[in-house]
Structure 1
Amino acid sequence: MPVHAFIDESARAQTYLICVAIVDPAQLSPARKQLTTLLLPGQRELHFKTEKPPRRRLLADRIAGLPVTTYIYATGRTPKTEEQDRQRCLERAVRDLMDLNAHRLVFDSRDLRDRHDRTTIYRALGRRPAATNITYEHLNSAGTPLLWIPDAVAWCYGAGGDWRRRIMPVVTKVTEV
């Protein structure tokens, strides 16, 4: 069965992370509803780095209970190579998603830098991208609750310690790129 994937990043010290949340189509609506119930009054989106630690713990625990799996792609980083680091992780992720029969890839938009992703995706899909039946788009996370999953998982995984432990129930695969 084709899956949907939601992709976001996190950068910590000397590590760059891409997180892919993989959601079965039957779970899209239930997961979306569960996430939106976590919003506070007046809040438009969950963005992990802006939350206070007690709320982060609650969110991490709730996200770890969602019916999703996530893949983490990690590589070393420097400010000068961050875009190249992202693209290396992204290329590996897209190839893995093709093996999973992914149908739709949704990326947290980085506005003008989205063009780099499009080039990498096209290259990863190979000479006949239409034959893969994969569609992809960059969207704003405020309007796409399922993008909150990879944001939280990448943040927690990158933070390590108890944060990583809390989110590990949904982490299926970690790949060093």
Structure 2
Amino acid sequence: MSAAHAFVDESIRNGYLLSAAVIPTDDLSIARGKLLELCKPGQRCLHMRDENDSRRREILSILTGLGIQVYLHRASVAGRPIRDGRDQCPRALVPQLLVLGVTRLVIESCNQDRRDQQIVQPISNRLAVPGRFVFLHSVPSAEPMLWAADAVAWAYGRGGDWRRRVEGLLGSVTELS
């Protein structure tokens, strides 16, 4: 893959699931436009938990044509704090993204942005070519590509036919112990 951007969202279902939607930089503006077209009047962003099944199918169908590959990392949280699983996933994900040629990582902003910084920055400092990798946080209403990460995490986590609908988008699924 040439230079790419990655957009990360999380889900907690059968463990902690981190979803990274990776797209070549050259395809980014078209993909954003297609996702924005899916918003209904007055809707600021897409979130699968807020959509009905018909809209979910439509969203997943559009995603399959955008050149996105999604990399999932799941950590068990049984018998341990969710924070442990949340820390474990980016530690495995970021090196993988660097190998894939990701130059920009956007993580959905939440109340744990500072902790994300503490995890990602040392990995970036150690493994990334200086000046060739940046990461930041963004809210979903400001970055439509976060919606892709959310949609695939939701569908994969739901299983069954929903998971089948995103199989073609999956670059890999990594189970962390």
TM-score for the superposition, normalised by structure 2: 0.92
- Cα distance in 2 for residues equivalent to 1:50 and 1:85: 25
> Which residues in structure 2 correspond to 1:145-164 (within 5 Å)?
145-164=144-163
Partner Cα separation in structure 2 for residue 2 and residue 42 of structure 1: 34
SS in 2 for 1:44: coil
Q: How does 1:28-177 map to 2 (within 5 A)?
A: 28-78=28-78, 81-110=81-110, 112-127=111-126, 131=130, 133-177=132-176
Shift of 1:147: 0.6
* Separation in structure 2 between the aligned mates of residue 113 and residue 78 of structure 1, nearest angstrom: 21
Q: Are the equivalent residues in 1 in contact too, given 2:91–2:120 (CA < 8 A)?
A: yes
Contact 2:32/2:144, CA 8 A, preserved across alignment: yes
Q: Secondary structure in 2 aligned to 1:27?
A: helix
Which amino acid in structure 2 is aligned with residue 50 of structure 1? D
Residue 15 of structure 1 corresponds to which residue in structure 2?
15
User: Matches of 1:10 and 1:79 in 2, distance apart?
Assistant: 18
Shift in Å, 1:149? 0.4
CA distance 1:81–1:132, shift in 2 (3 Å): farther
Contact 2:98 2:128 in 1 (8 A): no
1:64–1:168 Cα contact (<8 Å) kept:
no
| Root-mean-square deviation (Å) | 1.7
Residues matched between the structures, number:
175
**TM-score, normalization: structure 1?**
0.92
Equivalent position SS for 2:39? coil
Mapped to 2, the partners of 1:127 and 1:72 lie a distance apart of 23
Q: Kindly indicate whether the alpha-carbon contact (under 8 Å) linking 2:21 and 2:71 is maintained by their aligned counterparts in 1.
A: yes
- Does the 8 Å contact 1:65/1:169 carry over to 2? no
Shift of 1:84: 1.5
Structure 1 residues 79 and 47: alpha-carbon distance in aligned structure 2, compared to 1, 3 A threshold: farther
User: Match of 1:131, SS?
Assistant: coil
Tell me what 2:6 maps to.
5
Distance 2:79 2:119 in 1: 20
Displacement of 1:128: 7.0
